[in-house]
């Protein structure tokens, strides 16, 4: 059985797990929601790197994982290079804002990017944008969304406060005929409904869960994984989590264990 470790600062990575549920079979999946240290997007890159290393070490020691999925754009940006250097035998898959599919799909050429402050400030994001932008005439409307992850973690995705925050961030995109928005944080697909409502016009929201699931399947199969049977999911959290939200995102999860790293 393939053993997969997946982590994020909280609920966001479950949007990736949901995509994995559709594709991956015959595997055990261990998820860590590091809610004690959330939000990652407003921490320093040194702190985010340390959280990522601690979680990976835990996955290896306790669950002997074969694959690590960093289901967090912010942690991918801060830690994936060091994780790959520290664990060369582990298959490691990260999460990056889907700028490439957005460029392929936009008609107006105006693309919005919503992400955490840390992701937008990271070198990795800048490199991604620089390489892709040499190819096509595109205007990017980048917007950091400090505080949005906390609202989502509190189960307050559709409150007036959240709507007002998003309204202000989306205004320049609305005024500039943005037709495609990259959800560059795995929490943000949980706010898709309200983002679509606020944009008013038809807008294409890009998130990367499905691409990660397909990528894992192809890497796993190369390693001899047989994609048959069930997917067993165990959820761990380093502090409190909103169980109602967890149940709304994933089907069939009843209990979550709190762990100390």
Distances (CA, A) of 247 to 18, 176, 241: 11, 37, 11
Q: Which residues of 210-229 are buried (b: 16+ CB within 10 A; e: fewer)?
A: ebbbeebbeebeeeebeeee
- Nearest in space to 40 (alpha carbons), one of 153, 163, 190, 156: 153
- CB of 153 within 8 A of CB of 118? no
| Cβ-closest position to ligand DGL | 41
Cis peptide bond upstream of 227, omega within 30:
no
Compare residues 149 and 205 and give the one whose CB is closer to ligand DGL.
Answer: 149
Q: At closest approach, how far in Å is the CB of 217 from ligand DGL?
A: 21
> Three-state secondary structure along 42-58?
HCCHHHHHHHHHHHHHH
Q: At closest approach, how far in Å is the CB of 79 from ligand DGL?
A: 12
Active site annotation includes 72: yes
Q: Which of 144, 185, 195, 235 is catalytic?
A: 185
Compare residues 109 and 239 and give the one whose CB is closer to ligand DGL.
Answer: 239
CA 4 vs. chain centroid, Å, equals 16
Active site annotation includes 185: yes
How far apart (Å, rounded) are the C-alpha atoms in residues 55 and 192? 28
Structure tokens at 7: 């982590």
Cis peptide bond upstream of 236, omega within 30:
no
Q: Which of 72, 111, 212, 235 is catalytic?
A: 72
Compare residues 59 and 188 and give the one whose CB is closer to ligand DGL.
Answer: 188
Q: At closest approach, how far in Å is the CB of 211 from ligand DGL?
A: 14
Compare residues 9 and 162 and give the one whose CB is closer to ligand DGL.
Answer: 9
Q: At closest approach, how far in Å is the CB of 244 from ligand DGL?
A: 19
Interacting residues with ligand DGL (CB under 6 A): 8-9, 12, 38-41, 72-74, 116, 119, 149, 185-187
Structure tokens at 188: 């943000």
Compare residues 227 and 259 and give the one whose CB is closer to ligand DGL.
Answer: 259
- CB of 163 within 8 A of CB of 135? no
How far apart (Å, rounded) are the C-alpha atoms in residues 213 and 77? 19
Q: At closest approach, how far in Å is the CB of 117 from ligand DGL?
A: 8
- Residues with a known catalytic role: 72, 185
């Amino acid at each position: 059985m393939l053993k997969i470790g997946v982590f994020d600062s909280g609920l966001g990575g479950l949007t990736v797990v949901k995509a994995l549920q559709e594709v991956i079979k015959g595997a055990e999946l261990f998820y860590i929601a590091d809610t004690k240290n959330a939000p990652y997007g407003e921490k320093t890159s040194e702190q985010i790197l340390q959280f990522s290393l601690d979680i990976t070490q835990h996955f290896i020691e306790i669950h002997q994982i074969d694959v690590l999925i960093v289901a967090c754009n912010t942690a991918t940006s801060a830690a994936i290079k060091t994780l790959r250097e520290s664990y060369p035998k582990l298959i490691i898959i990260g999460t990056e804002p889907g700028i490439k599919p957005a460029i392929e799909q936009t008609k107006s050429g105006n693309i919005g990017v919503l992400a955490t402050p840390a992701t937008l400030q990271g070198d990795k994001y800048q490199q991604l944008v620089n390489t892709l932008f040499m190819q096509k005439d595109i205007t990017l409307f980048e917007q950091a969304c400090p505080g949005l992850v906390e609202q989502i973690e509190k189960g307050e995705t559709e409150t007036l406060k959240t709507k007002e925050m998003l309204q202000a961030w989306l205004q320049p995109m609305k005024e500039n005929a943005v037709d495609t928005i990259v959800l560059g944080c795995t929490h943000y697909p949980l706010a898709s409904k309200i983002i679509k409502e606020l944009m008013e016009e038809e807008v294409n929201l890009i998130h990367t869960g499905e691409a990660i699931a397909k990528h894992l399947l192809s890497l796993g199969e190369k390693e001899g994984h047989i994609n048959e049977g069930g997917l067993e999911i165990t959820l761990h959290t380093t502090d409190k989590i909103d169980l109602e939200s967890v149940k709304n995102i994933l089907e069939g999860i009843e209990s979550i264990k709190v762990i100390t790293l």
